[in-house]
Structure 1
């Protein structure tokens, strides 16, 4: 009997889900960062706490961007000017409202956005994490961090806990922005108390990000209900106070306190990234992995920095595109302000620096990528040459063009291994870009600093302004490109499958850092597979066959099987990224986990791989730099397939055999041979 399990619908089956995932990309990267740590410990320790704080800053950054669009650009900088609201009936009605009431009404939009994120997270929890494994997990099982721990994939309670905290953070920042905007420096007793309460709510949520989830489910539910009541109460009082405030000190320019809030978030993110990098390096030196990680051990800070950069691109694009629309096509800055009739319409300085840093990072990373590919070309070609000489020693001269095509295919299939230096360079450039934090805090933009350095205000400042404008358009086009990709995913099943390949990597792990990240499909797939395999094993032998990322799900399933089931289970993987990608990207769950997997199966495991495969590879082949588990049986796991089978044309055919690369494996004779081999490895005594 043959059964198939398809999980594609969990990542790209629904077009709307695929498109929405692109919008949640920064949150996904923030959640992914903790899983790239060098050791299995510290998932909920210092490094985990820092990653959760950074994830909280992403929520705050998105909330402030929406506040910047609604309250700052529209309510404060556009509506008071007749030329800005002219021929815009959707804005004209706001001028009749007092400034306090206007800001209170516009503050509802970021609150609605937070509620939308809440709804997406709750819906995904029901759809993806609603499957309950049997038996239920023991208390505090998530603290061990092992893939074989019962309940490892059941993180719904943690996600719900973090979701309440993030909504509290976002609502608290909306309250703080609103109260500072309507009061400025002149606050009465009520306004001061409310501002203290809103700031205290934000700080309290920050502290909660460090604390573990209460052990008792009822206790956590009561606490979250209390937190929700506090958030709702403070927000309602802040909205009521702002709506009742009639005399608001209006100043030209940005809403009071807003630019400082944005700069403060950027500063916090910079400090957190430095701390994450320091803790990661310290952990790696104390517990060095057996094999050198793909990202030189900087996977956690690198992906964390990438999440911040992508979030900055999203937020800056949102603010600048709305500002560009409101001022009817002109991009204002301190050197080229809008006419007085239109109003200032100035985005915060932090977004100008984000645009300039994004352009610089993109150019430098592109340069490093080109250099990495050029410098590694000779090494990759030499390796491909050795493979071709080994596989086709007697190839005729007429097969030279075919041999060259095979060499190119093998060389290209190992490009990914050469991009580590590029990504590390990206982290360094991103870290250097955070030096602009100091300038953000004092409100100095790129044009001012350029004029101060050169001493020529007009020429150099204008050049800096044009370069910054270019950065704005570049990051805007990149974000728009993602939106177009999301639209294509909505219209095209092929595009959805392409996006799903990337999402297989990014959404495999539970959401233990950011609750608004795309849901973890393994939280449903692994328990379902465990239950089905256990049921089949009760009736006879089971060979779990997994291709590509399916082999990762198969491995996670085997690690969750009970000892009573394991003697009846074997595993066949092909096109398998377990070592080539997962063990190197996630050193905390690397080679020791693979050895544990083989030992649990008593080495009833075969892995088919090709040199031309750009994704899969060997698991225990020592010739490829993969270390042994100290068991001779591990050497029999990997089975190499020559690809193509021949470089000459068979007399019964008109073309040479194709280069299979990643597809297919299950149609090859070696696949059938591996199934027969595994069937003969079962212990007859263990099947009674």
Structure 2
């Protein structure tokens, strides 16, 4: 974490101004006022715009303001090369966020009692973790289909006629890839040392230092329903034991699944004793996972109010945590070893008839059915807790997590099948599940896209397109509700069709009217929006419509004639509805993810772009899915709190904390970390998603009680020391009820979410807060003045 401008001695008159960036890691030099003046920029220097690749720029030096500092935390989410692989963990991150969206109970007032884990919350937590376990199994099964089935069984054995015993390599390789995934989730940068050396990445090892391992297991407890931003926040940053326990349970379940899928299809072709031991060990491992998850999740646990961070935890969970550590994963590991040895006893004459490994062909269907059932149960559990569409958020996010993992896995399966089949005349067997998954995801998008387009148009009627986007993101629960309802409906319909037909027929059996409806709903709204946007630029609607009609007619003609071309194995344009769904929902997203990972390995800018996901998605600890990317807030929040405390040391010391976007969430958590008012501290937030997004999706953590608590801790004899700036065109930030400066800033330059500090209102609000900290009666209680004077060109 870098802190430019750090000085020695007492702060200058007026106190420090500490700026904290938001998502994507705004460079500290930008926050400190390094400005670019564009020669010949149209419209004068009032509006900031980014220089083009062929423009000549003149860079001004930083402002000489000893009060100004920049606090940067972006290296925690995008500073290391291995963080490019975090895209593989995206489904797990979404599943973890689903648990934090549970509308759990919360304190009724800042001084109220700590909430308890009621029975409904405990059951909802258990269901979220079970569905999250299924999301992990989606990854395991996808890798096993690619390695064990397509590569080893269908290609090496059946195509190249290798010995049948080679099939065990697929089981071992799948377990190895899964272990590498576990290692990826455990790599974290070390904190900077006192000598100023840069933090080093955590070593590539499955064994932690003994001291850190003991600390992780010091307080076994399930902190869900006990730790909040507004109360007992120390639990958020000091509850590593639950993450370690869940990670071992996921490891056990993944290895047990690999072993069971390798042993089930063996039948009479394997020695009975070896097969029986494999099945027994795998089933025992799975039973222990389910039992321990229920034991940990359903226990109410003791209260934690007033206990220090060194608390020993819940004594009733010491036994299950001990069993998780020593008794579960060895069973699964032994089962995998036996499963890898099974093919050595297979008879080639018996197994030669297998086109693919039988156990893998129907696994995806049953995992899908279990996910849909879990989503339905979760919605029933969440609905009575809080009325409204927010109750749909956890279930919908779990469905999105499973769909994202399944789509990425299906993309790997289809590309691997194409590669194996392209090595000769051999055609590998690929289950029909991939095609039906693509149809389901595409249909869900076909419902979501027109709904979002119509809702955006409705919200834009009295404010313009940018205002419509701001209002659309502020009511994002509508979009997740549509995804959840449509996805569950498709899953139930698909399950009924599977039972009625006795299997999964080809995708081409879909009626033509269904395919046409999906195409019109999916492609129609984007085409209309593109025509509207293009017409606003070229000022000729007739030409735009004519061009769109020509493009659409050309695409239809190409599809009907079967003419087109192939790009990276993708048919463009697709000749059938099944190919269209496969390209939209599976192939193209998979190619985009792989390309982004490759770019992020060497390009810091590409990692920073992907890091936006981790800036938002990894703020919360991994209490629900342990394979999400590591959280950064357990370092960022305490370190920012220590920085604030350091700046406020000494009589009369003051600090103006000025966080942007996601930085305002970190700053709010740092303010809430102390139960007493912070004298000498003022808060200037801008572009903050505190109420606009976080209160919408995390109602148990961000709510009016939390906002009032911050206001109370920033109140003094001179008034409330918290001002919030926002724009009506900002899709991320918004107003905060009860906080001053609720009038949206004008946005004639189209800055939207960026460059707040170049606005006149920012300087005026900062000056007013400094005056309040200094106790200037001439400025106390006066609202910041509005000014339309142009600001010199700069960058945020």
Q: TM-score range by the shorter chain?
A: 0.7 to 0.9
Change (3 A) 1:375 1:224: same
1:141 offset after TM fit, Å?
8.1
Q: 1:541: which partner in 2?
A: 654
Check conservation: 1:277, 1:301, Cα contact below 8 A. Answer: yes
Per the alignment, in what secondary structure is the counterpart of residue 518 of structure 1? coil
Check conservation: 1:380, 1:414, Cα contact below 8 A. Answer: no
Q: 1:224: which partner in 2?
A: 325
Give the whole-Å Cα distance in 1 for the aligned partners of 2:324 and 2:333. 14
Q: 1:469: which partner in 2?
A: 579
Which ranges of 4 or more aligned residues in structure 1 deviate by more than 6 Å? 125-132, 136-139, 451-454
1:641 offset after TM fit, Å?
5.9
Change (3 A) 1:218 1:427: closer
- Any idea what the Cα deviations from partners look like across 1:375-421, whole Å, max 9, x if unmatched? 3321434xxxxxxxxxxxxxxxxxxxxxxxxxx55455444236544
Compute the RMSD of aligned alpha carbons: 3.5
1:189 offset after TM fit, Å?
4.2
1:346 offset after TM fit, Å?
2.2
Give the whole-Å Cα distance in 1 for the aligned partners of 2:776 and 2:420. 71
> Which of residues 246, 255, 261 in structure 2 aligns to 1:162?
246
1:209 offset after TM fit, Å?
2.6
Q: 2:785: which partner in 1?
A: none
> Which of residues 440, 445, 466 in structure 1 aligns to 2:505?
445
Per the alignment, in what secondary structure is the counterpart of residue 212 of structure 1? helix
1:520 offset after TM fit, Å?
1.1
Give the whole-Å Cα distance in 2 for the aligned partners of 1:30 and 1:672. 39
Q: 1:375: which partner in 2?
A: 458
Give the whole-Å Cα distance in 2 for the aligned partners of 1:119 and 1:682. 55
Check conservation: 1:181, 1:257, Cα contact below 8 A. Answer: yes
Q: 2:682: which partner in 1?
A: 570
Change (3 A) 1:198 1:453: farther
- Any idea what the Cα deviations from partners look like across 1:651-676, whole Å, max 9, x if unmatched? xxxxxxx4543333334332332332
1:617 offset after TM fit, Å?
2.0
Q: 1:560: which partner in 2?
A: 673
Matches within 5 A, 1:360-371: 360-371=443-454
Q: 2:691: which partner in 1?
A: 579
Give the whole-Å Cα distance in 2 for the aligned partners of 1:226 and 1:184. 31
Give the whole-Å Cα distance in 2 for the aligned partners of 1:505 and 1:104. 41
Give the whole-Å Cα distance in 2 for the aligned partners of 1:300 and 1:110. 30
2:753 corresponds to 1:662: yes
1:467 offset after TM fit, Å?
2.1
1:116 offset after TM fit, Å?
0.4
Matches within 5 A, 1:259-270: 259-270=361-372
Check conservation: 2:172, 2:336, Cα contact below 8 A. Answer: no
Structure 1 range deviating more: 19-28 or 602-611: 602-611
Structure 2 unmatched ranges of 5 or more: 1-10, 17-68, 106-116, 192-200, 203-207, 298-312, 515-561, 563-573, 778-796
Check conservation: 1:259, 1:348, Cα contact below 8 A. Answer: yes
TM-score, normalized by length of structure 2? 0.67
Give the whole-Å Cα distance in 2 for the aligned partners of 1:437 and 1:465. 28
Structure 1 unmatched ranges of 5 or more: 86-91, 286-291, 331-340, 382-407, 455-461, 621-633, 648-657, 684-688
- Any idea what the Cα deviations from partners look like across 1:316-344, whole Å, max 9, x if unmatched? 111111111111299xxxxxxxxxx725x
Q: 1:320: which partner in 2?
A: 414
Give the whole-Å Cα distance in 1 for the aligned partners of 2:426 and 2:714. 71
> Which of residues 21, 24, 49 in structure 1 aligns to 2:89?
24
Per the alignment, in what secondary structure is the counterpart of residue 151 of structure 1? helix
Give the whole-Å Cα distance in 1 for the aligned partners of 2:268 and 2:189. 41
Q: 2:725: which partner in 1?
A: 608
Q: 2:708: which partner in 1?
A: 595
- Any idea what the Cα deviations from partners look like across 1:55-110, whole Å, max 9, x if unmatched? 110111111111111222233333344xxx4xxxxxx4xx3322xx2221111111
Q: 1:56: which partner in 2?
A: 133
Give the whole-Å Cα distance in 2 for the aligned partners of 1:263 and 1:104. 24
Matches within 5 A, 1:241-280: 241-246=342-347, 249-280=351-382
1:439 offset after TM fit, Å?
4.5
Give the whole-Å Cα distance in 2 for the aligned partners of 1:659 and 1:278. 43
1:275 offset after TM fit, Å?
0.9
> Which of residues 376, 384, 396 in structure 2 aligns to 1:302?
396
Check conservation: 2:281, 2:331, Cα contact below 8 A. Answer: no
1:528 offset after TM fit, Å?
1.5
1:52 offset after TM fit, Å?
0.6
1:315 offset after TM fit, Å?
1.1
Q: 1:686: which partner in 2?
A: none
Check conservation: 1:372, 1:419, Cα contact below 8 A. Answer: no
2:616 corresponds to 1:505: yes
Check conservation: 2:656, 2:682, Cα contact below 8 A. Answer: yes
Change (3 A) 1:364 1:532: same
Check conservation: 1:263, 1:440, Cα contact below 8 A. Answer: no
Give the whole-Å Cα distance in 2 for the aligned partners of 1:138 and 1:97. 51
Give the whole-Å Cα distance in 2 for the aligned partners of 1:141 and 1:58. 21
Per the alignment, in what secondary structure is the counterpart of residue 72 of structure 2? coil
Change (3 A) 1:548 1:222: same
Matches within 5 A, 1:331-480: 342=426, 345-381=428-464, 409-417=466-474, 420-435=477-492, 436-440=494-498, 442-447=502-507, 450=510, 466-474=576-584, 475-480=586-591
Per the alignment, in what secondary structure is the counterpart of residue 688 of structure 2? coil
Change (3 A) 1:316 1:661: closer
Change (3 A) 1:78 1:670: same
Per the alignment, in what secondary structure is the counterpart of residue 571 of structure 1? strand
Per the alignment, in what secondary structure is the counterpart of residue 237 of structure 2? coil
1:437 offset after TM fit, Å?
3.1
- Any idea what the Cα deviations from partners look like across 1:103-136, whole Å, max 9, x if unmatched? 211111110111101211222386799999x9x9
- Any idea what the Cα deviations from partners look like across 1:33-64, whole Å, max 9, x if unmatched? 11112234669611111111111101111111
Structure 1 range deviating more: 1-10 or 517-526: 1-10
Check conservation: 1:29, 1:307, Cα contact below 8 A. Answer: yes
Give the whole-Å Cα distance in 2 for the aligned partners of 1:674 and 1:662. 23
Give the whole-Å Cα distance in 1 for the aligned partners of 2:102 and 2:722. 28
Q: 1:120: which partner in 2?
A: 184
- Any idea what the Cα deviations from partners look like across 1:436-468, whole Å, max 9, x if unmatched? 2345574323448649999xxxxxxx9x99322
Change (3 A) 1:159 1:63: same
Per the alignment, in what secondary structure is the counterpart of residue 685 of structure 2? strand
Give the whole-Å Cα distance in 2 for the aligned partners of 1:377 and 1:546. 29
TM-score, normalized by length of structure 1? 0.77
Structure 1 or 2: more helix by fraction: 1
